[in-house]
Structure 1
Amino acid sequence: MQNRTIDWLLAGATTFVVGAIIALILGQNAPHSLGVGLATTATSLGSAAILNSRMTARMAVLEQHIADTDRARALKQELPELKSQSASLIARNDELQRRLEQQQQEIAAALEKSGITKGQLAQLQAQANEIKATITALLGQKQDLDRRLAALNRNYPDLSALEGLQQRIHECQLEKTSLEAQITALGNRLGAMEDRRQSLQQLEANLAIRQAELDQLNSRIQFGSGLAGEVMENEAKLQYLKAQCQQLLTERQNLEGLINQLRLEQQQLDRSLEEKTAQYTSLVQKQPEVEAIERQIFHLRLEKKELELEKERLEHSVSTQAPYYKDPLQTLKMPLWSESEISHDFSTTNTDEEEFLKGFSAYVQKSGFYFPSRTIAAFHTSLKVQGISALVILSGISGTGKSELPQLYAKYMGAQFLMLAVQPRWDSPQDLLGFYNYMENQFKATSLTRSIYQYNHSPKWQDKIALILLDEMNLARVEYYFSEFLSKLESRRHHDAYLDIDLGNLTLPEGERHLKIPPQFFFVGTMNEDETTQTLSDKVLDRANVITMSRPLKLYLGNHGHPPELGSGCLSYHQFKSWCKLPNPSQPVVREVERLLTQTNQIMEDMGHPFAHRVYQSVVHYTVNYPGVGDNLTAAALAALSDSFAQKILPKLRGIIIEDERTMDNLDRLGSIVSGLADAALTAAFAKARQGYQFQWRGISYDV
């Protein structure tokens, strides 16, 4: 117990000195530094006093508790050791006293160096005396404790063991306190390091900003260096320009004289220009009259041609004494085309299909039009497969050349061309094919039936191709006026198709009543996409190839000159048929098409829109007849398959709701097949069609 008290005294004195010195080093004034040291010492001594009082109370309890035990003898045996410990404590007390005096001297020296006043020193000396008195009192208590300890040692031999245990407990508590303090210090250090890390990150960000500013300044410096060179170069140019300016001033004086002369001439030209302007204005005002006269001339020429045909008919009627007005087929037998238009000079220069398409593309451009090469290939291929897809439909917005493409194609190949302008009032096949008027006892033929009759009764037309154009065919419901005739056209792939002429109860020869629809007739329709038109049913879509002529990506002005002149020759139907191919089931390309369409049809069936043999056969025929397609699945074959998906399959999905999960999953599967065709236009059109809550298919853009 005495050892622990002395340790506290020694620690308090040392703390006093160290605290005072550290305060002086940190820049505190001397009184404040001594106050810090004394406060620290007082704290240590107070702790020692408290510990001494606690130990005194515990010793009294122990004296009472073990007064009559049998351990007295053991304590007598340990008395010499306790005496030696007491002597050691006395020596340590003397050492502490000596060290205290030495520290007081050091403090006095420090005070002299720091310039402390005598009053302050006296006050500090008084405080030191109080500390000495406290130490003396503690020493007295120590002696008393020594005596009592000697008595305890005599009576209780195991007191030292108990005290050792108590000391061990205290040391553990101190160690615990120390560890807690270390944990707290480490936490504070960790927080400080985190603050430093954030500070370093901020410094790195600032460094990057400064580096960017530095790079910018370097660029400006380099730019400034270039400007300096330019300034020197510009100065040289300035000197040169000054010399040129002087020369120009001289020339100016010469030109001023010429300007005066030219002004007189300009006045004369202005008067002449006013006269010409007045004449031009007069001509512009008369332009509508000129155009009206040109239209009248055009109509008069048409009327002249019709009158000439009527004249020939009347002359023939008079010569045979069988006037047409008594024949119920009078209008049907009137020739639509003059036989003088038949050319037997079938061209042999473009018998190769590839050369034919190249020549036609060049002819289109020279005529002032532009069609993508893929559109031309799709149109040409669709005409080749009319045996199975009986109609080619050109669909798109107005002004994309839907009507011009068939006309240019027919003109280039030397085919007969017939345009039928569909009217909104058409609601039956009679509007397309004609009807029998019972009141007049006459069959009211149309241009289409007249052309069919003419081909049936003149062998000269048998190798001549005719292209029939139904212009704006969806102004009326296509199913109302064309469905029956379309079915007859489709049957041409199996056998000859015939058109029946209805004359009521009149009897006619078989050759007059049943007219064979010529296989040389190619049927094309155009469709506008606006609010005035009708949509096509699946029946028509299955039997037709729909080619979309979408908004052009680039607008072309074209030329306004006359189209190039063509020779008198034409492409024969026999030659055209030689370009048509029949699919071979063993061809790799046919097997691949079958595989893809089988996968596609499974998905279409899940969505409630499957297709059957007709669509499959149409796709296969279209693919093998596409320009450049051979036995294998090449890029040309993939382009043909993409066309078929756009023309035959995807239009079936128009209007389906795609919000439910199953439909979206099926569309994803179908999209994978579409992507596998590697056609950017088809992939983009498919993605666009499924953007809303309904599938809105509008075809693909060939202008890619």
Structure 2
Amino acid sequence: MDSKQQGQEKIKAGDSEMQFRQQSLEKQADALNEKEVELKGKQQELNKQEQLLKQRVEAFAQDKKSLNERSLELETRHQKQERRQLEIEQGLPALRDEFFAEREQQLVEERQALRKQRAELVAETNKLQAEREKLAQIQETVEGDFSEQRAELQRELQQKRSAAITKLHNEIEQQRKNDFEVLERELQKRRDDLKSREDLLEQQQAMLTTEQNSVRLREVEVEQLQTSLEQKITERTQSRLQEFEQKERQFEQDKQRLLSRIERQDALHSAYDELQKALGDRSPEEVLLDLTAKNEELSKLREELKLPSQELEEYYDKHRAEVTRLEQDKIILQKEKRELQRDLDTQEQLEYDQERLQTKLNSLEVNYNAVLADNNKLRESLDRLNPAYNEPQNREDRIREIKRPYIEQYVPRRQSQNVNEIKWLEAIRSGIDEHGLHFSYRILCAFHTALKIAEWSPLTVLAGVSGTGKSELPKLYSRFGGINFINVPVQPNWDSQESMLGYFNSISNSYETQPLLNFLVQSREELIRGSDNPQDNYNGLNDTVSLVLLDEMNLAHVELYFADFLSKLEQRRATKNSELPYIDINLGAKLDPYKLSLGRNLLFAGTMNQDETTKSLSDKVIDRGTSIYFPRPSSLHRREKLKSLPAQADLLPLKIWWDWIKKESELSDTVVEPYKKLIEAINKYLGEDGKALGHRVWQSIEYYMVNHPLVIGLDAEQYPDEYKDALKFAFEDQLVQKVMPKLRGIETRGYAKEHCLDPIRELLAKNQLDILDDFDKAMRIGHGQFNWASADYLNNQQSNDRYQELFKLALNPPLLAPNTATITEQASVADPVSQPTK
């Protein structure tokens, strides 16, 4: 019976699965409807483009009209000049030659200008004609084909929907039949097994029932017999007792009657005596005779009184015989009682055996259910393990899973090729301020410059006090600057590259892709748009800039999960685009790995906290990274309103980003020498404690200074003092970001302090650098070892005011050459980031 119930439950489960598949089919239909809505949106977008083209045609027509008017005006002026020349030739012959030479030169220049304008007009006319032809083609395509494509698409969608529904119904029906067959076979096997067990249990139950019935029958008979016997004994005893009590009462009555007679006789004798006394005249003989007669009578009465009567003796003999018979009956009943007790013990034993067999039956049922549950678990494990032994997933399917786009929404690219870097940064800063957060000009420029020199330092690390915006700065910088962004929270159990990117799961026979891998692959793919099938469109991002943020990167050892990236990103320096390094993504056994190219549009940053839950960064990571320390807030900023993030700004093309980067140092030896000597002096004192700086550190410092926005934006000849201040600020930032972390672990007492730390501090003081307070703090808080973990120099109000003046001067220079002013004005008009995104 339990097996039948389980079969019914499995059938119900199959029906539930069929309903689930029906729901998934409905979801697919909803997805098709959504795609249809998307196509309608694309149609609207195409209509907008058509309107824009019409506007451009109208603008071209107006330009052509103005050019025609200008040509007529020039023709009129030419005719006037010819008439004037004729008048001069007729009226003033003496001045004709001189005026003719002068006007001939002017006419030649005007004719050349007119020819040039006519050529431009012809070019504009040709261009306008091409635009008209293109617009006509688009209009023909829109008017002639769009309705047909829509109808065809609707038919195709309907056919696909019908085919998908039919296929799904067939699959469900076939699966249901297969499940029913498997279930029927299993149920039949379970029925046979259960039938045999039920037959055996029925036999045992029948035997047990028979024995129970016989025992119960005998028990009933014994109870009836015992009840009858006790009833008979009780009845007989009661009757005998009543008879005996009745006879005893009769005997007592007779006794009382005799005693009363004796008393009466005594009374008579006393009365006789008294009477004799009273009758003294009687003779003695009479009295004696009378007395003798009385005595004899009295003796008889006394003997009668002493000896029982014959009736009473007979009564006692009868009762004695009855008692003897009852005792014999009692012996017989006791014997029957012992036999009944033995039968009762046998019945109790049978009942105990029955309970024991029932317990065994329950145990067998529990074991049967346990075996059935184990079979179900094994079947589930078999279904789960079957894919691993079926046909393996091919390489294209796994690559298709890797290439699944992380960013599905298409964002337009900027069209201007003259985006001003300083204005771009100012738009980001003002957009962040409007959002409710605040970052200083210096922090923003430092982060931007650190990303620009990714060829020399591929990793930018943001460290400092928790809650100062280390994670918010990269996100908002990307949002307002038009850069693709992904936040990757680092987990403490990351111990390999697969933890960050994903791995091949041999159990499910598929590649378990992490979002970061999808983002990295998408950043290296080309943009594919315009296909009739939306699934063929791919939002490739290789022409834009992408930023990866490893949040809380030191929760796990960076060298474990990011070591391969650090080495390969360093190899990217000065490498041709066709020879860029790549990361091998293992797709499984017997398959070639997928080669993930590390293009120059990939930028990496990370945040770092300094507490007991984190790991310290090694020298390898510090050398290959730029550590930007956020200062302790001197004043806490309010955030009166929590605003939602605005829409993503138009993406910044990689070409514009790459044009901002200086590939070679334009600093002269005279400018570089003081800074280079300071680094060499610090390196000399570091050698006293067994530490040293390599060539890579100085190269990163120099190219950081060259690529700093203020150094690029301020002309050295026009603003020499401001240019020097910008170089100093950039160099000071690099001292904190690249050099000071290398001093970590140096003893703050003894020989190391005297021969290393103290001389370095004197160098910093001699060069009037603002980082002396942070240097002294690093010597105090490290428990006997130098530990740089602050950036209070960024809170210097005087330095911040000067930095802001330099930024505004680079943003709006008061003196510019005409051509430069024209270019800047054009960039300001064409750059969509010049205004904060709202």
What is the TM-score of this pair, normalised by structure 2?
A: 0.43
Structure 2 match to 1:503: 587
Counterpart in the other structure of 2:711: 629
In 2, the alpha carbon distance for the partners of 1:457 and 1:678 equals: 49
Report the CA distance between 1:677 and its aligned residue: 4.1
Structure 1 gap segments, 5+ residues each: 1-303
Corresponding residue SS for 2:436: coil
2:411 corresponding residue in structure 1? 342
Q: 2:813 matched to 1:703? A: no
Deviation at residue 441 of structure 1 after TM alignment: 2.7
Alignment CA distance shift 1:308-1:400 (3 Å): farther
Per-residue Cα deviation, 1:556-598 (whole angstroms, up to 9, x for no partner):
0123153685685332221112111121463533333322211
Q: Does 1:528 align with 2:619?
A: no
The 3 A distance-change label for structure 1 pair 456 and 506 is: farther
Is 1:482 the counterpart of 2:574? The answer is no
Q: Write the mapping of 1:300-449 to structure 2, written as runs, cut at 5 A.
A: 327-338=397-408, 340-346=409-415, 351-449=419-517
5 Å matches for 1:547-566?
Answer: 547-562=628-643, 565=646
State how 1:101-500 maps to structure 2 within 5 Å. Answer: 327-338=397-408, 340-346=409-415, 351-459=419-527, 460-495=540-575, 496-500=580-584
Return closer, same or farther for 1:672/1:342 CA change in 2, 3 Å cut-off: same
Partner of 1:657 in structure 2?
747
The alpha-carbon deviation at position 673 of structure 1 amounts to 2.1
User: 1:353 and 1:677, CA in 2 relative to 1: closer, same or farther beyond 3 A?
Assistant: farther
Q: How does 1:591-606 map to 2 (within 5 A)?
A: 591-606=673-688
Report what 1:590 is aligned to.
Answer: 672
Who is 1:537 aligned against?
618
Question: Structure 2: how far apart are the matches of 1:698 and 1:462?
Answer: 37
Distance apart, 1:337 and its partner CA: 1.4
Amino acid at match of 2:541: W
CA contact (8 A) 1:583 1:590 kept: no
Is residue 774 of structure 2 the alignment partner of residue 685 of structure 1?
Answer: yes
Shift of 1:526: 0.7
> What secondary structure, in the 3-state scheme, does the structure 2 residue paired with 1:697 have?
coil
Does 2:759 align with 1:669? yes
Q: Secondary structure at the match of 2:548?
A: strand
Q: Is the 8 A contact 1:498 1:515 kept in 2?
A: yes
Helix, strand or coil: the match of 1:485?
helix
Work out the CA distance in 1 between the residues paired with 2:785 and 2:657: 42
Deviation for aligned residue 1:539: 0.3
Q: Which amino acid letter does the alignment assign opposite residue 687 of structure 1?
A: D
Distance 1:356 1:442 in 2: 44
Partner residue, 1:617: 699
Q: 1:424 to 1:565 in 2, by over 3 A?
A: closer
Residue deviations 1:285-339 (CA, integer Å, cap 9, x gap): xxxxxxxxxxxxxxxxxxx99x979x99xx99999x9x9976233431222111x
Indicate the residue corresponding to 2:809 in structure 1: none
**1:648 partner amino acid:** K
Distance 1:638 1:567, change over 3 A: same
User: Aligned partners of 1:423 and 1:662: how far apart in 2?
Assistant: 37
Following TM superposition, by how much is the alpha carbon of 1:499 offset from its aligned partner in structure 2, in angstroms? 1.3
Structure 1 segment 42-57 matched on structure 2, within 5 A: none
Identity of aligned residues (%): 34
- Change in Cα spacing, 1:329 to 1:636, as seen in structure 2 (3 Å) is same
SS at match of 1:493: coil
How has the CA–CA distance of structure 1 residues 588 and 346 changed in structure 2, closer, same or farther, with 3 Å as cutoff?
Answer: farther
Native 8 Å contact 2:495 2:560 kept in 1: yes
- 3-state SS in 1 of match to 2:620: helix
* Counterpart contact for 1:646–1:699, Cα < 8 Å: no
Separation of aligned partners in 1, 2:517 and 2:646: 31
RMSD: 3.1
How far does the alpha carbon of each residue in 1:336-381 deviate from its partner, in whole angstroms, 9 at most, with x for none?
A: 111x423134456x81112122222211111100112211111011
Maintained 8 Å contact 2:479/2:648: no
Q: Distance in 2 between matches of 1:524 and 1:587?
A: 32
Q: TM-score w.r.t. structure 1 length?
A: 0.51
- CA deviation string 1:211-265 (max 9, x = no partner): xxxxxxxxxxxxxxxxxxxxxxxxxxxxxxxxxxxxxxxxxxxxxxxxxxxxxxx
Deviation at residue 390 of structure 1 after TM alignment: 0.3
Cα deviations by residue, 1:495-527 (Å, 9 ceiling, x for unpaired): 21211111243334xxx7212122111111011
Partner of 2:627: 546
1:695 alignment partner, SS class = coil
Q: Secondary structure of 2:710's partner?
A: coil
Seen in structure 2, the aligned counterparts of structure 1 residues 408 and 533 have a Cα distance that, compared at 3 Å, is same
Q: Displacement of 1:472 after TM fit?
A: 0.7
State the distance in 1 between where 2:459 and 2:476 align: 18
Aligned to 1:553, the other structure's residue is in SS state coil
Does the CA-based 8 Å contact 1:329-1:442 persist in structure 2?
A: no
Asked if 1:514 is matched to 2:583, the reply is: no
RCO higher in 1 or 2 (8 Å CA, sep ≥ 6)? 2
Amino acid at match of 1:659: R
Structure 2 stretches lacking a partner, 5+ long: 1-26, 36-156, 168-390, 528-539, 797-838
1:640 & 1:436 partners in 2: Cα distance?
45
The match for 2:785 among 655, 675, 694 is 694
Cα distance in 1 between the residues matched to 2:650 and 2:449: 22
- Relative to structure 1, is the Cα distance of residues 447 and 677 closer, same or farther in structure 2, using a 3 angstrom cutoff? farther
| Match in the other structure for 1:643 | 733
Instruction: Say whether the 8 Å CA contact 1:363–1:564 is kept in structure 2.
Output: no
Cα separation, partners in 2 of 1:344 and 1:657, compared to 1, 3 Å: closer
